[in-house]
Amino acid sequence: MKLLRYGAPGAEKPAMIDDSGTLRDLSDHISDLDGSQLSDETLAKLAALDPASLPAVEGSPRIGPCVGNIGKFMCIGLNYSDHAAETGASIPDHPILFMKANSAIVGPNDTVVMPRGSTKTDWEVELGVVIGKTAKYVKKEDALDHVAGYCVVNDVSERHYQKHLSGNWTKGKSCDTFGPTGPWMVTRDEIPDPQALDMTLDVNGKRMQTGNTGTMIFTVAEIIEHLSHLFTLHPGDVIATGTPPGVGLGMKPPTFLKDGDVMELNIAGLGTQKQTVKADD
């Protein structure tokens, strides 16, 4: 299933996409697509519905973040060997973890606003993993059983804030609008191998990033195993699993976003995001 949320910010409603691409409202069956509704049992009940019996959503509403009330928004840094190389970083021995403030989360096509004075705002297409079942001390062999589904994430990053404002990476990752998520969550039964997904990102129609999740240093299962031994993963938590090469920071010379730029991201089977960049007044 492709599950999503539509409507004005803060008032999104749950929906699914049927085989014809029609948006079907799920409000009569679940209150929202959040951690309380991501269990295997609930997802099985939704999968059993006849999409034709669900109200079709008229028009072209805004698409919101595909998961509501996200608990922890966790990100893995330098998780592609070729991306680590382009930034001059060493291959990590363990997954590098940083957190992204939940206030950064926006819809997949919402405007990305560069903070005042920003000159080094960058793009990063990433595979997002949505936790559906509580995970504590899980083994990698069982880790994917704790996943509700997968989505596209743009881990927008302000590199000066990230590297030069002291402290950890969170400062450069958590600016408002720096976490476009969606357009939808694809349930894990439709993604049999999360390590075999092509991914791309264009800026103004020019291909910047081309990659495949098969080149991750740490797989999705290994990331879940590692994190679940540090703290409990709860339903509705989201993990952004790292980005392939082609970010602006790695270019020679480095190239960053500017007012009016348009980013378009795609991961095979998970849909497309498109954001216009705006400089904050």
pLDDT score at 165: 83
- Measure the CA–CA gap between 53 and 45, rounded to whole angstroms: 14
Q: Whose structure tokens read 């939808």?
A: 184
pLDDT tens digit string along 208-229? Answer: 999 999 999 999 999 999 999 9
Mean pLDDT over 129-148 rounds to: 98
Angle, CA of 103, 106 and 112, to the nearest 5°: 100
* Tokens encoding 124: 């990063």
Write the single-letter amino acid at 249: L
pLDDT score at 133: 98
| Residue 89 banded pLDDT, cuts 50, 70, 90 | confident
Mean pLDDT over 245-266 rounds to: 96
User: 273, exposed or middle or buried, with CB in 10 Å at 0-12, 13-18, 19+?
Assistant: buried
> Is residue 90 domain-shared with residue 199, that is, in the same domain?
yes
pLDDT of residue 75 exceeding 90, the answer is yes
pLDDT of residue 197 exceeding 90, the answer is yes
pLDDT of residue 258 exceeding 90, the answer is yes
| Residue 83 banded pLDDT, cuts 50, 70, 90 | confident
pLDDT score at 163: 83
Answer yes or no: is 125 within a domain. yes
Q: Cβ–Cβ contacts within 10 Å for residue 206, how many?
A: 6
> Is residue 19 domain-shared with residue 80, that is, in the same domain?
no
Number of domains in the chain: 2
> Is residue 200 domain-shared with residue 238, that is, in the same domain?
yes
Judge if the upstream peptide bond of residue 183 is cis by omega within 30 degrees of 0: yes
- Measure the CA–CA gap between 181 and 76, rounded to whole angstroms: 16
| Residues 101/157, Cβ–Cβ less than 8 Å | no
pLDDT tens digit string along 10-52? Answer: 999 999 999 999 999 999 999 999 999 999 999 999 999 999 9
Mean pLDDT over 65-91 rounds to: 89
pLDDT of residue 166 exceeding 80, the answer is no
Answer yes or no: is 68 within a domain. no
| Residue 281 banded pLDDT, cuts 50, 70, 90 | confident
| Dihedral, CA of residue 19, residue 237, residue 280 and residue 12, to nearest 10 | 50
Answer yes or no: is 99 within a domain. yes
Answer yes or no: is 67 within a domain. no
| Residues 188/39, Cβ–Cβ less than 8 Å | no
Nearest Cα to Cα of residue 175 among 105, 119, 257, 78: 105
| Residues 5/56, Cβ–Cβ less than 8 Å | no
CATH, residue 166: 3.90.850.10
> Is residue 131 domain-shared with residue 93, that is, in the same domain?
yes
Residues of the domain holding 261 = 73-279
Answer yes or no: is 63 within a domain. no
First vs last Cα of the chain: how many Å apart? 40
pLDDT score at 44: 98
Alpha helices in the chain (DSSP H): 40-47, 81-86, 140-143, 159-164, 170-173, 220-228
> Is residue 122 domain-shared with residue 41, that is, in the same domain?
no
> Is residue 131 domain-shared with residue 26, that is, in the same domain?
no
Farthest CA pair distance, the chain:
54
DSSP result, 83-136: HHHHTTPPPPSS-EEEE--GGGEE-TTSPEEEPTT---EE--EEEEEEE-S-BS
> Is residue 83 domain-shared with residue 39, that is, in the same domain?
no
User: What's the whole-number average pLDDT of the chain?
Assistant: 96
> Is residue 147 domain-shared with residue 25, that is, in the same domain?
no
pLDDT score at 82: 78
Q: What is the DSSP pairing of strand 262-267 with strand 271-279?
A: antiparallel
pLDDT of residue 230 exceeding 80, the answer is yes
pLDDT of residue 234 exceeding 90, the answer is yes
> Is residue 37 domain-shared with residue 118, that is, in the same domain?
no
